[in-house]
Amino acid sequence: MPDQTPNQYAMQDPTKQYPQPKFDKQPQSAPGLAQEMDPKPDHGETSYRGFGRLAGRRAIITGADSGIGRAAAIAFAREGADVVLSYLDSEQKDADEVVALVEKAGRRAFPMPGDIGDEAFCQRLVSHAQARMGGLDILVNVAGKQTAVEDIADLTTEQIEATYRTNVYAMMWLCRAAIPLMQPGATIINTTSIQAYQPAPMLLDYAGTKAAIVAFTHALAKQVAAKGIRVNAVAPGPVWTPLQTSGGQPQSKIPDLGSSVPLGRPGQPAELAPIYVLLASQESSFVTGEIYGVTGGNHLP
């Protein structure tokens, strides 16, 4: 397979920039670890360069141990931000690597394991950010639960509730707690999905949560615009993360993950990080209430 950490800044063929199908099946128990994936995802560990666009900012990133959240944490640190890292206890091995990368970039990392599906933990997470960093400028909601179920008869109430608590309730709880701490110029970045617009039949609950995130983002952006706070969302297509290999897709679909998008491969987390940086930075000062698609060519409406 091609080099997993190419120079993102050199002109090249995007269809061949990162590994392409076929991949090996690689089942993991949810939520999974990036360390156990083959090929390992590129989160920007060696490829992302910072330019000081978030100097002195203070951020919370959920799902910061692996995948898109990890890529955002690395990028934010290299752009000059301190970061509170939120993740599950079972993801500590991946999170330890992120802490080291943030600190290597010369910024402060504040790890806080716990379940964002618990309202009290969401409040503690924001309070932790206030206590350790003295305030909050950026909230990035990335963490999500995705479990493929092919027949609605097998979609349990327990799974529906867990998916909505992680993907929707937690986002609302965190935004509600964070906004009183935010000054004009602060930003909130949510993470929806192409599934909000082109839902797969085996992701009924997940797709529903991602559609809810779209509506919430549009509405909250209008509500807080007068405060000088911007709210946007990123809508990824298929991305090579543990979310996919640990039950987000059936193992039968892993070998061909991403093959159906026009670019013919799954995205890498490092390819999404620059969008989160843009939306967090003052460079996007006239952008709010928008959904940014990063889908490999499958268009959003």
Per-residue pLDDT, 209: 98
178 CB-near residues (< 8 Å, 6+ apart): 60, 126, 129, 136, 139, 188
Is 9 labeled as catalytic in the residue annotation? no
Per-residue pLDDT, 129: 97
| 218 domain residue, yes or no | yes
Threshold 0.85, pTM exceeds: yes
Q: Which domain holds residue 107?
A: 48-293
The string of pLDDT tens digits covering residues 251-274 is: 999 999 999 999 999 999 999 999
Per-residue pLDDT, 8: 78
Neighbours of 125 (CB within 10 A): 24
The separation between the first and the last C-alpha atoms of the chain, rounded to the nearest angstrom, is: 33
| 79 domain residue, yes or no | yes
Q: What is the CA radius of gyration of the chain?
A: 18
The CATH number of residue 204's host domain is 3.40.50.720
Which stretches in the chain have pLDDT values below 50? 1-4
The string of pLDDT tens digits covering residues 190-246 is: 999 999 999 999 999 999 999 999 999 999 999 999 999 999 999 999 999 998 988
Domains: count for the chain: 1
| 108 domain residue, yes or no | yes
- DSSP states of 138-185: EEEE--------S-GGG--HHHHHHHHIIIIIHHHHHHHHHGGGPPTT
Phi, psi of 61 (to 5 degrees): -130, 120
Candidates 48, 87, 169, 206; catalytic one: 206
| 143 domain residue, yes or no | yes
| 33 domain residue, yes or no | no
| 27 domain residue, yes or no | no
Two tokens at 116?
A: 């964002």
Per-residue pLDDT, 5: 56
Find the helix or strand (DSSP H, E) in which 59 lies.
strand 58-62
| 8 domain residue, yes or no | no
| 226 domain residue, yes or no | yes
The distance from CA 194 to its chain's CA centroid, rounded to whole angstroms, is: 13
